[in-house]
Amino acid sequence: MTQNGRGFWRHLFGLLLALIATIVIVLAWQYGLDYLSGTPFEELRYVIFGVAVIGLLSALNSLTLRLMK
């Protein structure tokens, strides 16, 4: 019984982190790409966005693996 209760909170925590990550990614897409306009990195803004998203998701994965031990 305890195992099922603990698993429920782990899933809820994971869903909460996924929701927060989604909101951060959407906000970065909406507002963050405009900061690169007029700079030498303007042509690479989608590559920079992709690298930032992969870095964010990798950090969240590492964090959840450490917290869920």
Instruction: Using the predicted structure, report yes or no on whether residue 1 has a pLDDT greater than 50.
Output: no
Between residues 23 and 68, which one has the greater pLDDT? 23
pLDDT single digits (tens) 12-66: 988 999 999 999 999 999 998 888 888 888 899 999 999 999 999 999 999 888 9
pLDDT confidence of 5, banded at 50, 70, 90? low
What gap in Å lies between CA 17 and CA 30, rounded to an integer? 20
Amino acid 69: pLDDT: 74
C-alpha–C-alpha distance, residues 51 and 38, integer Å: 20
pTM attached to this predicted model = 0.79
